Structure 1
Amino acid sequence: MSSNTLATSTVAVVAHAAGDLRIEPIDLAAPAADEARIAIAYGGICGSDLHYWSHGAAGESILKAPMILGHEIVGTVLQAAADGTGPAAGTKVAVHPATPGETGEPYPSERPNLSPGCTYLGSAARYPHTEGAFAHEVNLPARMLRELPEGLSLRDAALAEPAAVAWHAVSRAGDVAGKKALVIGAGPIGALAIAVLKRAGASEIVAVDMHEKPLEIATQLGATSTLRADDLEAISQVRADVVIEASGNYRGLASAVRGAVRGGRVVMVGLLPTGEQPALISLAITRELELVGSFRFNDEIDEVLAALADGSLQISAAVTHEFPVADGLEAFETAKDSSSSGKVLLNFLDK
């Protein structure tokens, strides 16, 4: 397909301000030389998307102008990049939504997720904002595209990006084979972490959440037992070798510290609100716990796609709802209710 036959407009999911989400037409420029035109098939609604819609901000990233949401996306290449990089037209792809940055501030070169100037699709961290990809068609840098392994469908690959976040978090825990794991918060990332822990050989996986639906999903994905978040005594008796804190709440972090065995490791993947937070630091010190941060991912999406293709990673139970993009407002309302939903997908194929 030549560039002069590509669409010059599309329909996108755009956050204008807190409480103002619109499914509306937008102009679509011709791709740059290093960009491919992608027909988006599915998009997963992330917590950050919900925050931009609900609050007009995600942490310290504040909406200053309308922004297309979405970074959990898969689709098909309509036109390959003109510079010859990336997959050919017709290729089914997942998307790595990060662009490492260079600001002069040091970071480990093998961990580009920590580069201070890193940008992410659908992020208001910088201005002008980095537009997302919740649209029927988008232009994306060819370097972001990951060809799906043979036999892996777009629908089955739709959770590759959040699963890579979970995979990275579990990798930060070290070797979990034969170990007891505790997962605090069984929302989409926590649930996917449970599936990754199961694949990695954890002998016991205890899931904790406030609601029954997430715990039901957790069980389907590999949790061997579940606990209510308010049962602090039971959580403190778990004594897990590894804890994945995925609630993004200081109370969840406190439960993670209480539930870890002496000398254990707590991986903090749930992003707490900005600013100072209360924490059980004295308990972490006297138990010699290792508190480890986990932020986004690097190349783990490639391992996720391979594991999805060979069947060793089973995550389909994490998806509870699917909506055509025309019903995007209803989809966001559904995703906001964590007591009755897991991962919610937007279907861009159903027009």
Structure 2
Amino acid sequence: MILREEIVEYRALVAHAAGDLRVETRTLREPAPHEAVVAVGYGGVCGSDLHYHAHGAVGESVLRGPMVLGHEVSGHVAVAAADGSGPAEGTPVTIHPATPCGTCAFCAEGRQNLCPHTTYLGSAARFPHTDGAFAERHVVDAARLVPLPEGLAVRTAALAEPASVAWHAVSRAGEVAGRRVLVVGAGPIGALVVSVLRRAGAGEIVVTDLHERPLRLARELGATATFTGGAPEDLGADIAIDSSGAAAGLATAVRSLRRGGHLVQLGLPPKPEQPFPSGLVVTRELTVTGSFRFHAELSGVVAALADGSLVAEPVISHEFPLGEAETAFATARDAASSGKVLLRF
């Protein structure tokens, strides 16, 4: 175990303000008895990480002090929890980034992803901010660790968090087997939605995006038809999942649904309020459902990645060492030429 008198230094990727991203050396704090130390192997750059870097904020979550970024991470247990809980030293793991309160009504209902008291790795929603895990070492509650099954590479497991977001979104759509499903936006999350839909037995998977590269990836993952820009308004989709968050993408999703269809809004819009074709929701009697993060899905996703029924590896397009974080972030911002960009620790 780590003794208090020992000094364990590690490097971390810290956002200070818009445009101010630094690789800093920090000293590892002493873990509590129920906490483990993870040697982080890989971390995926998420849209929220890009927003903190570019704008110093994600919506109403504004940086008010330095914060370690990163919530899509995997690695190995370097120091097991002293109380014996959690995985043993050396175990490959991924980290569940959310820590819900466990006592509110939402937690009691099994909807911990809606817990208003949740802390999330790499989030400025609260102050002091919750440091993320873009670091060579990360101290975490052992209960947040999910061991990786034999055969699942730590690199691939860095996709478990975004794949869980996609898995949750598909579950919010109800029964998808045999259905015609439209996915708007084929970025990393949209691409993973396609893979989850294929695993769930969707009959047709139609995908739209503004760029050809993500559409090629969508076809590789199981899309049966792709369109650059919008989809045909007479598509008659049973289900539409919007992962773009853009007003135009949302309009495409609504107009492509059949009467009685189901819209799942997954992508976060750039502003809380934006144009929405609500008239069609009424006249077509559409069901509109939001999808926010995930909770219990992570273990199922890890198992599906391990047995090969959920294909995710092609979503990774680039990998950079921690020292090239600025290049990694610039690459991730270019949606036309990149998918999921990984940092290697």
Per the TM superposition, whether the score is higher than 0.5 is yes
CA positional deviation for 1:273: 2.9
Residue 232 of structure 2: SS of its match in structure 1?
helix
| 1:177 CA displacement | 0.6
Superposition deviation, residue 156 in structure 1: 2.0
Give the alignment's TM-score, normalised by structure 1: 0.95
Q: How does 1:208-287 map to 2 (within 5 A)?
A: 208-229=208-229, 231=230, 234-287=231-284
Shift in CA distance, 2/21, structure 1 to aligned 2, threshold 3 Å? closer
Aligned to 1:343: 340
Q: TM-score, normalised by structure 2?
A: 0.97
**Are positions 1:170 and 2:170 aligned together?**
yes
SS class of match (2:85) = coil
Residue 296 of structure 2: which of 287, 299, 310 is its match? 299
Counterpart in the other structure of 2:15: 15
In structure 2, relative to structure 1, the CA distance for the partners of 1:192 and 1:5 (3 Å cut) is farther
- The number of aligned residues is 345
Among the aligned pairs, what percent are the same residue?
A: 57
Q: What corresponds to 1:111 in structure 2?
A: 111
Find the counterpart in structure 2 of residue 90 from structure 1.
90
Tell whether 2:155 aligns with 1:155: yes
Instruction: Output the aligned Cα RMSD.
Output: 1.6
CA distance change for structure 1 residues 40 and 7 in 2, over 3 Å: closer, same or farther?
farther
Residues 22-73 of structure 1: per-residue CA shift (max 9 Å, x gap): 1121222111221100000000000000000000001110000010000000
Q: Which residue number in structure 2 is paired with residue 74 of structure 1?
A: 74
Tell me whether 336-345 or 26-35 shows the greater mean CA deviation.
Answer: 26-35
Provide the C-alpha distance between the structure 1 equivalents of 2:12 and 2:172, rounded to a whole number of angstroms.
35
Give the partner amino acid of 1:59.
G
Q: 1:2 to 1:29 in 2, by over 3 A?
A: closer
- 2: CA distance between counterparts of 1:5 and 1:329? 34
Q: Any conservation in 1 of the 2:102–2:108 contact (CA below 8 Å)?
A: no
Query: SS where residue 279 of structure 1 aligns?
Result: coil
Q: Which amino acid aligns with 1:34?
A: H
CA distance in 1, matches of 2:305, 2:258: 32
The reply on whether 1:146 has 2:146 as its aligned counterpart is yes
**2:56 is equivalent to residue 56 of structure 1:** yes
Q: Distance in 2 between matches of 1:29 and 1:163?
A: 31
Q: Which runs of 5+ in 1 are unaligned?
A: none
For the residue of structure 2 that corresponds to 1:255, the secondary structure is helix
Distance (whole Å) between structure 2 residues aligned to residue 85 and residue 31 of structure 1:
13
For the pair 1:205 / 2:202, whether they are aligned, the reply is: no
Q: Is the 8 A contact 1:123 1:132 kept in 2?
A: yes
What residue number does 1:137 align with?
Answer: 137
Give 1:309's match in structure 2, choosing from 306, 311, 327: 306
CA deviation vs aligned residue, 1:285-323 (integer Å, no higher than 9, x gap): 110111100000011111111111111111111111011
CA drift of 1:89 comes to 0.5
